[in-house]
């Protein structure tokens, strides 16, 4: 095993099969892409999500992001410490960031990024762009009004009602 891996249990396999079934059903039903996700804590399914990018015209409507949104809404919190996310496919950079921001404790995935690329979902460009310094990305990116923008963080740091995240 490598750093960060854990030994899957029969429950982990059951929840992964659920994510895989959601992904397959999403395609067969015509509701979206071949991606499904399940969020579980203490053996209880908190939420599920499927890819709905093309049906909702929302490029952020990936299965993992949808499942996280659903779980957080249901629990009334923005963090999912102690939860495991099961994804039918290795998360793209956006989804991985969402999983990390939600503070999920574990992640299991079925298909790899290479499998996704072979099926027409190649995220390698996005991984490459995330690794680049801002001024070297393909998307023209310029730091603008940094001094003025600092007021946002000053306000946050002195705001008595802030909730750290």
- Which residues belong to the active site? 64
Query: Edge-to-edge strand order for the sheet containing 44-50?
Result: 44-50, 36-41, 83-89, 106-111
Task: Sort residue 22 into left (φ over 0), alpha (ψ -120 to 50) or beta.
Answer: alpha
DSSP string, 123-148: -HHHHHHHHS-GGGSSS------HHH
């Amino acid at each position: 095993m490598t750093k960060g891996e854990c030994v899957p249990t029969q429950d982990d396999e059951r929840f992964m099969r659920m994510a895989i079934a959601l992904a397959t059903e999403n395609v067969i039903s015509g509701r979206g892409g071949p991606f499904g996700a399940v969020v579980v804590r203490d053996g209880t399914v908190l939420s599920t999500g499927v890819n709905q990018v093309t049906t909702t015209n929302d490029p952020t409507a990936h299965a993992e992001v949808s499942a996280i949104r659903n779980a957080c809404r249901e629990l009334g919190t923005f963090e999912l410490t102690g939860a495991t996310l099961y994804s039918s496919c290795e998360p793209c950079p956006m989804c991985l960031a969402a999983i990390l921001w939600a503070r999920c404790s574990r992640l299991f995935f079925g298909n790899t990024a290479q499998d996704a690329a072979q099926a027409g979902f190649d995220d390698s460009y996005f991984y490459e762009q995330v690794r680049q310094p801002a001024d070297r990305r393909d998307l023209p990116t310029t730091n603008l009004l940094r001094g003025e923008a600092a007021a946002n963080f000053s306000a946050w740091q002195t705001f008595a009602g802030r909730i750290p995240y």
